[in-house]
Structure formats: structure tokens, C-alpha cells
């Protein structure tokens, strides 16, 4: 049986940060993009290119001044998990085991119960006492356990060592192949270079390159040849 296509379409998006104390900062003026299932969706670009803002728009954390974001199916927006690169200390429970139980009660994906590095000791240690690296790992584990149809991940593997990065990348790829929509924003794309994915490159709020389901080093070569 064929998997149902899950898709998010951004059309003519305009967005600017506005403040009474600072000049208006335009991030997007006419952004168009489509993200769908079948492979990881990787948004690449330098710091300040608009990667995190794009994820925040998709997650509903920010609202575009004009344009539209269409979710297919329409219920997709309500089953989306956003992993921010900023709110590392935000948890619902005291320990990761309690977070895990909460996720499973809400219909989590039990195929990914075992997350590399998440031992019984880590599960039962108060989250506020974990190191920054393990709190980051805990946030990723909760995202994987969440059962959400869409994962919006801002620098998910940042600060993790090579072993954990590879193991978690493999899990993310399996989830994408199973039909989960996964959109990752990163400036450190080395971990994904040998794997097929949909790559979108942002430069100063504009999409300057797109490569569907190709390896990134092929994508970079195509961009260089086009310039």
C-alpha cells in the first residue's frame, strides 16, 4: 500500500521582524517553497540567512505578513513538533522517563524506544541536572517519541559528537522513509553530505538553490557550474 503524501507549500511569503525600538528587518519578501515526504528536507545556509525563521513560520511561532502556508492534509499543522535551537530548558516533566511515558500515552512511535546514549541513568536524572549535551539529546529523543507527523528541527545534531550524530541521522532517515515529514535547518551540513535528501539553500532570505533527492556534494557541484 502506497504511503500518503504529506506536504507543506509556502506561497509568496513576506515576513519582517518589527519592533518599536529597532528598524524593521525584512527576512522574506517573496518566498516560495514545497516540502514533502520521501526523504529528509535539509535547509542549508549561513547564519542569518532565514533558516530558523522559516521553521518558526512553518511551526506557527511566527505569522507571515502576506502569502500563505498550505498543509496537506489540512490537519498536519496540529501534528507538528518543533525542536528549537534556543529553548533547551523547556520540558513538561522532571525526568526524561516521565517525558517518555507522557509521549507513549499520547501514541508515540515505540519503534524508536531505544535512543543511543539514553540510558536508565539518563532517564532518571532530573533534566535540570543533565549537561547541555544530554539535555539536547533528551530534546531530540522527545521529538522522535512524539508521534508527530511532521518534525521541524533546528540544528538538531549541533553540539553532539560524531557517534551520536551518525546514529541519530540514521534514525531520522528511517522515519523519513516511513512517511514522516522531516525538515531540518542547519549550517553544518557535513553529516548529511553522503545521503540523499531534498536540499534547499537560503541566502539572505532567498532560495538560491534546490536539489530534490540528490547527494549534497553533487548539488554543490551543480551550483558551481551554474554560476
**Looking at the domain assignment, is residue 43 inside a domain?**
yes
What contacts 71, CB < 8 A, 6 or more positions away?
Answer: 7, 8, 77
**Looking at the domain assignment, is residue 153 inside a domain?**
yes
**Looking at the domain assignment, is residue 221 inside a domain?**
yes
**Looking at the domain assignment, is residue 159 inside a domain?**
yes
Looking at the structure of the chain, the number of domains it has is 1
What are the per-10-residue average pLDDT scores of the chain (227 residues)?
Answer: 74 89 86 89 87 92 94 79 71 86 76 80 91 86 86 87 84 87 83 72 82 54 50
**Looking at the domain assignment, is residue 181 inside a domain?**
yes
**Looking at the domain assignment, is residue 220 inside a domain?**
yes
Q: How much is the pTM?
A: 0.85
Amino acid at each position: 500500500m502506497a504511503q500518503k503524501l504529506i506536504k507543506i507549500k509556502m506561497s509568496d511569503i513576506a515576513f519582517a521582524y518589527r519592533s518599536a525600538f529597532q528598524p524593521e528587518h525584512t527576512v522574506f519578501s517573496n518566498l516560495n517553497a514545497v516540502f514533502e515526504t520521501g526523504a529528509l528536507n535539509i535547509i542549508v545556509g549561513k547564519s542569518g540567512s532565514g533558516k530558523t525563521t522559516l521553521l518558526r513560520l512553518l511551526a506557527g511561532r511566527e505569522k507571515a505578513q502576506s502569502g500563505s502556508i498550505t498543509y496537506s492534509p489540512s490537519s498536519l499543522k496540529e501534528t507538528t513538533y518543533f525542536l528549537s535551537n534556543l529553548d533547551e530548558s523547556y520540558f513538561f516533566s522532571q525526568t526524561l522517563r516521565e517525558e517518555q511515558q507522557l509521549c507513549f500515552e499520547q501514541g508515540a512511535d515505540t519503534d524508536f524506544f531505544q535512543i543511543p546514549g539514553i540510558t536508565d541513568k539518563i532517564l532518571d536524572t532530573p533534566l535540570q541536572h543533565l549537561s547541555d549535551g544530554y539535555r539536547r539529546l533528551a530534546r531530540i529523543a522527545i521529538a522522535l517519541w512524539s508521534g508527530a507527523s511532521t518534525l521541524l528541527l533546528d540544528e538538531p545534531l549541533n553540539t553532539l559528537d560524531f557517534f551520536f550524530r551518525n546514529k541519530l541521522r540514521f534514525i531520522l532517515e528511517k522515519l523519513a522513509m516511513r512517511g514522516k515529514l522531516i525538515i531540518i535547518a542547519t549550517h553544518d551540513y557535513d553529516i548529511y553530505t553522503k545521503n540523499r535528501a531534498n536540499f534547499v539553500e537560503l541566502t539572505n532570505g532567498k532560495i538560491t538553490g534546490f536539489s530534490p533527492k540528490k547527494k549534497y556534494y553533487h548539488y554543490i557541484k551543480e551550483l558551481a557550474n551554474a554560476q
